[in-house]
Amino acid sequence: MACQMERPADNPPERDWEPADCFRLLLVGGAEDRPPAALAAHWADLAGWEIEQVSSVQEACRGRSRYRPHAVLAEVASAGAAQLLRQFPEARQVLWLDECTDPTAAAGFDAAVCAHWWQRARYPASLRARTEVIHPGLTVRDAALPGTRDPYGLALRADEWRTTSELDWLAGLLPGLASSPVRFVVSGRPAPALLDLLAPFSPLITASDRDAQGRAAVSLHAGGHSQPLLEAMAAGCAVVAADREPAREVVRDSVNGALIGDSEQGAARLRTLFTSPDQVRRMVREAQDDLRRDFDPLAAALRCARLLSQGHVDPQRMDRWATGSLPGEWIALHA
């Protein structure tokens, strides 16, 4: 008797593979390049999830009866946050706090999320207790091939150098570089005060953030925000930053980057990096290993999905999704 092909109905999936209940998530605010949208791109692989995204609180309120979300993830200002709470009281509401958001906006929310530990440390104790630190993760770019980066190129993001203290620190550092063949690669729109400081190093090379970090071997940071350092690490630059929080959160001095204090010592360390390609490569390698371990986008998506779903999705199933151990055909059909 000829062997008959097995039909799907003859081999039903084990109970563990049964489709999850629908989980409806509403994303409010934040552009496509913002962290919530980046995380949502990973959640799209969870077929049990229905994700709606609106650009404003007003748009969310107009469609209240249509969305009926189980959870809301919002990146909005204080006034909009309060309005959102009133409109969706039945949903689990989570507020994304960026570096500029007033933390009082999170009052009344079930939980909050921020990207950096230094942010959370500045919040009141009551907010810290319900705030998760979840960086959305970064994609590590392969370091440029040997010889394609300028060893004397020093990338500088204009938006990091705005305050008087930051400019004063840079002003103390630059004289120590006057005798070196440093070439500044500046991205963004420099303030007049920054242009005045860099005038002795003209002509300046201007480029986008991505191009600057792909052209220069080293990047210099004011250290007031950790995200620019992480992006430079991901791009393959050796990072040098002022020895302060929040730079200390991501830079391990002399391992995956350099933290510099007084101006004279800082200038000397920069000059050393310009002539030490092996040290630069080692720092870049360590930094990118750190990023792959601690800033993995899929791991971040898993943590945030758990925070939002609060057990609505089987955590073991989500673990298998995150580690890639779900068979491809089941990822397409099951959460």
**What Cα–Cα distance (Å) separates residue 79 from each residue in 27, 76, 83, 104, 113?**
17, 8, 7, 10, 18
Say if residue 146's pLDDT is above 90.
Answer: no
Alpha-carbon distance of 200 to 194, in angstroms, equals 11
Chain segment 25-35, per-residue pLDDT in tens = 999 997 778 89
Average pLDDT, the chain: 86
**Please, are residues 267 and 182 in contact by the beta-carbon 8 Å criterion?**
no
Give just the sign of the alpha carbon dihedral 241, 120, 296, 38: negative
pLDDT of residue 271: 97
Chain segment 88-123, per-residue pLDDT in tens = 999 999 999 998 889 999 999 999 999 999 999 999
> Among candidates 278, 270, 200, which has minimal Cα distance to 242?
270
Share of the chain above pLDDT 90, in %: 68
The model's pTM is 0.83
Strand ranges of the sheet holding 111-114, from the earlier edge strand across to the other edge: 49-54, 23-28, 71-74, 92-97, 111-114, 131-133
219's CB contacts (< 8 A; 6+ apart) are 154, 155, 156, 157, 212, 213, 229, 232, 237, 238, 239, 240
How many CB atoms are located within 10 Å of the residue 181 CB?
10
pLDDT of residue 316: 60
Say if residue 135's pLDDT is above 50.
Answer: yes
Better-scored residue on pLDDT, 6 or 258 = 258
How many CB atoms are located within 10 Å of the residue 54 CB?
17
Q: What is the mean pLDDT of residues 43-50?
A: 80
Alpha-carbon distance of 109 to 120, in angstroms, equals 16
Instruction: Tell which CATH architecture fits domain 150-293.
Output: 3-Layer(aba) Sandwich (3.40)
Say if residue 24's pLDDT is above 60.
Answer: yes
Alpha-carbon distance of 150 to 35, in angstroms, equals 32
**Please, are residues 183 and 150 in contact by the beta-carbon 8 Å criterion?**
yes
DSSP 256: T
Instruction: Give the pLDDT band (50/70/90) at residue 65.
Output: confident
pLDDT of residue 9: 40
Alpha-carbon distance of 68 to 114, in angstroms, equals 25
Chain segment 265-313, per-residue pLDDT in tens = 899 999 999 999 999 999 999 999 999 999 999 889 989 999 999 866 6
**What Cα–Cα distance (Å) separates residue 236 from each residue in 128, 136, 251, 279?**
33, 19, 14, 13
pLDDT of residue 49: 86
Q: What is the mean pLDDT of residues 326-331?
A: 38
Chain segment 178-212, per-residue pLDDT in tens = 999 999 999 999 999 999 999 999 999 999 999 99
- Considering the four listed CATH numbers 3.30.565.10, 3.30.930.10, 3.90.1150.10, 3.40.50.2300, the one that applies to the domain covering 20-137+296-331 is 3.40.50.2300
pLDDT of residue 311: 64
Better-scored residue on pLDDT, 210 or 47 = 210
The DSSP bridge partners found for residue 53 are 27
Alpha-carbon distance of 130 to 124, in angstroms, equals 11
Better-scored residue on pLDDT, 252 or 142 = 252
The amino acid at residue 255 is: V
Q: At what angle do helices 297-309 and 35-43 cross, to 10 degrees?
A: 90
Q: Does a cis peptide bond (omega within 30 degrees of 0) precede residue 246? A: yes
Instruction: Give the pLDDT band (50/70/90) at residue 6.
Output: very low
Say if residue 46's pLDDT is above 90.
Answer: no
Q: What is the mean pLDDT of residues 232-238?
A: 96
Q: What is the mean pLDDT of residues 77-86?
A: 90
Q: What is the mean pLDDT of residues 219-239?
A: 96
Q: For the chain, what are the domain ranges?
A: 20-137+296-331, 150-293
Say if residue 256's pLDDT is above 60.
Answer: yes
Say if residue 12's pLDDT is above 80.
Answer: no
pLDDT of residue 140: 93
Q: Which tokens hold the place of 11?
A: 């081999």
pLDDT of residue 250: 95
